[in-house]
A = this chain, B = another copy of it.
């Protein structure tokens, strides 16, 4: 077994464990949920609470809808947009240096090193690379985790541009129910850029972190016997207490996006599934419906509940790269995109402590590199990513089931790979 000792761990992985590699943790090979019925040790059930633990996660991330209720993000009735193919065989040999080590890896190596479930690379609008593994197939859907945030950050930015949402207004102006919570006196902009002061821990290695309470309230994890806490996202958000000041620094907290989701619902009167379908999914010419997980009261998980096909995720990235133009139409105003890609205050970002992202910023739920390629990203735990490189005219969509949650721990074998590929495509068009 070509095993690696993990250098950091999420809450579900014992610290001294030998972590199976991509091959040994392959969910088809491990036969999760196969058999009629599956044997007890191959069963993955929501009620057991461990569906997200590695290596079960490698099956679960492609099967969220079998574990919890969801709502449709309809693609509509139209034909899907064409993704031209220009497959290249030279990319697997592209080399890069792992961040923080002397190790040289190839693009081909990085696929398994990152526990990739599927990756699509578009160059100048054509598919130059597409590969699937494990439980994900071209007609399946995969959890996007916090890549979800970037969808609703975009929609929030659209509503700001349209004047429907005033970015300088306080949250309590739109949502009086949050007046006495930490969010009440934050501005819409502060929430959209996550420069809020909230008593909320998102440390996945800490079993007492608030993120787990949030997950239980939102129906992402089972509620323990005798649970008396918040029953829904709406209830949870009203319990959040302040910690520190708003507007002084970036601290990445998922609940900001759930408040943004609430704002979007409040000002449009629509569900998030409906508005995402109507404004984005239908217009992109997606091949498949997407879906959002919902809590027990039917409320979508804006902070991390989107599941899509990989190619549809790439279509969305291409629309962003095209300044909002895709599938023969201006889907989003270019001024909305440029407002996002200009980025935000880099000093604010530094306080987030993202050592793998020096000089980056966070704007409207997007990660802006400010590098020489004007690259920017949507990022989700366990390796979910959209990577848009403007100079290289390249869009990457990746779904993964890495045993580690935090992307800072996955960046060493993914960020330099993206950048090396971009340079290769520029030099070898």
Contacts and interface: CB of A to CB of B under 8 A. Distances in A.
Interface of A: 33, 36-38, 43-47, 63, 65-72, 74, 76-77, 79, 138-141, 232, 234, 262, 265-266, 269, 287-289, 291, 294, 296-299
A36 B266 contact: yes
Nearest to A137: B74
B70 A66 contact: yes
A120 to B, nearest CB: 14
A76 B309 CA distance: 12
A298 B139 contact: no
A311 to B, nearest CB: 9
Nearest to A34: B269
Contacts of A66: 69-71, 294, 298
Contacts of A71: 63, 65-66
Contacts of A74: 139-140
B79 A79 contact: yes
Contact of A69 (B67, B234, B269): B67
Contact of A72 (B45, B65, B269): B65
Q: How many copies does the complex hold?
A: 2
Contact of A65 (B63, B69, B269): B69
B287 A37 contact: no
Which of A76, A234, A289: most chain B CB closer than 10 A? A289
A72 B70 CA distance: 12
A96 to B, nearest CB: 32
A67 B232 CA distance: 14
Given A36-B266, A37-B234, A47 B287 contact: no
A250 to B, nearest CB: 27
A266 B36 CA distance: 6
A162 B74 CA distance: 37
B36 A296 contact: no
A245 B30 CA distance: 43
Given A33-B298, A36-B266, A46-B296, 10 more contacts: A36-B269, A37-B234, A37-B299, A38-B298, A45-B296, A65-B65, A76-B139, A77-B287, A288-B289, A289-B289
B70 A298 contact: no
Given A77-B287, A265-B36, A298 B65 contact: no
A429 B393 CA distance: 57
Contacts of A138: 77
Contacts of A67: 69
Contacts of A262: 36
Contacts of A141: 72
A140 B274 CA distance: 12
Nearest to A266: B36
A312 to B, nearest CB: 12
10 A-B pairs with least C-beta separation:
A36-B265, A37-B234, A74-B139, A36-B266, A66-B71, A66-B298, A66-B69, A65-B70, A33-B298, A66-B294
A43 B266 contact: no
Contacts of A47: 296
Nearest to A44: B298
A43 B299 CA distance: 11
